[in-house]
């Protein structure tokens, strides 16, 4: 499996250093200039960072968008080719404001990512304020070091809209339906008017554990997604990766929603992605 070169590490630092400081993400032309690269060289580097789930660039499908997850955008969306997500952060103002040490300078990528975003601020209490996609009821999460210490309402659910196997179909759009719902009933109401979205819901605790133990902290500039095989298999239910099988009296079995298929490799090849995702036993 390929590892990041010093070039890729430098580019990721050029992106993440200002974002972590609460400053705007620099334009790609500025990133190229800072790292003495041609735009062609930078395109390749950003493709590798995108494959390892570290960035996502604005694409034609989402260019010019006026709504993000059903909410009217207060600022224009990033232009085509610019950094859309400096994962786990969004590079634009949205309904996932993040507060740390009383400062609100950051915005999260989606409901899934913000459940683990305190990994990016070690030792600090992090607060995420959001809303239910259906009822518009306020949502609050309080976290520290990747663990949720409080959330409201207590019936809160995290909705994941697109199966993992379709991630590389659209690395920006995978988050379009990853939203908070104030309750399972609210999620069901929303689904009834959006039958085309075949998503699932999980508890904030399950998603937090998944983000903390499988995705891990993206704070190091040389971060590459490393999938811990045995650790994950031993904790499938705890991480929300199972579903109850009614024919076996509710026995939890692996949920196909999370399982990769040959389609993933097909889309990676079509999109020109290399295998920068790595694997470990634990």
pLDDT, tens digit (0-9, with 9 covering 90-100), for 106-162 = 999 999 999 999 999 999 999 999 999 999 999 999 999 999 999 999 999 999 999
Q: How far apart are CA 250 and CA 147, in angstroms?
A: 28
Q: How far apart are CA 165 and CA 167, in angstroms?
A: 6
Output the CA torsion 23→28→31→36 (10° steps).
-170
Q: pLDDT digits over 251-266, tens only?
A: 999 999 999 899 999 9
Cα→Cα distances 130→5, 43, 49, 110, 182, Å? 37, 33, 28, 10, 11
pLDDT at 158: 98
CATH topology assigned to domain 6-280: Beta-Lactamase (3.30.450)
Greatest extent of the chain over all pairs of C-alpha atoms, in Å? 61
pLDDT at 258: 96
pTM score, two decimals?
0.96
**Looking at residues 30-36, what average pLDDT do you find?**
98
Q: Nearest CA to 22 among 122, 138, 103? A: 103
Element (DSSP H or E) covering residue 89: strand 89-90
**Looking at residues 225-244, what average pLDDT do you find?**
96
**Looking at residues 176-188, what average pLDDT do you find?**
98
């Amino acid at each position: 499996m390929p590892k990041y070169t010093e070039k890729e590490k430098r580019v990721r630092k050029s992106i993440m250093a200002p974002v972590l400081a609460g400053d705007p993400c620099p334009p790609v032309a500025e990133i190229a200039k800072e790292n003495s690269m041609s735009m062609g060289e930078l395109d390749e580097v950003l493709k590798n960072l995108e494959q390892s789930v570290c960035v996502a660039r604005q694409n034609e499908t989402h260019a010019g968008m006026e709504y993000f997850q059903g909410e009217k955008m207060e600022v224009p969306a990033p232009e085509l080719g610019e950094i859309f997500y400096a994962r786990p952060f969004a590079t634009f103002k949205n309904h996932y404001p993040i507060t740390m040490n009383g400062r609100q300078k950051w915005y999260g990528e989606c409901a899934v990512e913000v459940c683990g975003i305190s990994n990016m601020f070690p030792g600090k209490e992090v607060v995420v304020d959001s809303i239910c996609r259906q009822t518009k009821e306020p949502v609050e999460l309080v976290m520290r070091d990747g663990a949720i210490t409080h959330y409201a309402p207590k019936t809160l659910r995290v909705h994941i809209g697109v199966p993992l196997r379709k991630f590389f179909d659209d690395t920006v759009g995978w988050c379009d339906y990853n939203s908070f719902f104030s309750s399972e009933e609210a999620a069901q109401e929303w689904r009834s008017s959006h039958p085309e979205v075949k998503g699932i819901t999980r508890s904030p605790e399950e998603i937090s554990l998944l983000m903390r133990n499988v995705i891990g902290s993206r704070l190091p500039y040389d971060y590459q997604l490393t999938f811990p095989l045995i650790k994950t298999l031993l904790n499938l239910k705890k991480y929300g990766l199972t579903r109850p099988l009614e024919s076996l009296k509710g026995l939890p079995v692996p949920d196909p929603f999370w399982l990769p298929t040959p389609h993933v490799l097909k889309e990676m090849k079509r999109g020109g992605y290399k295998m920068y995702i790595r694997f470990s036993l634990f």
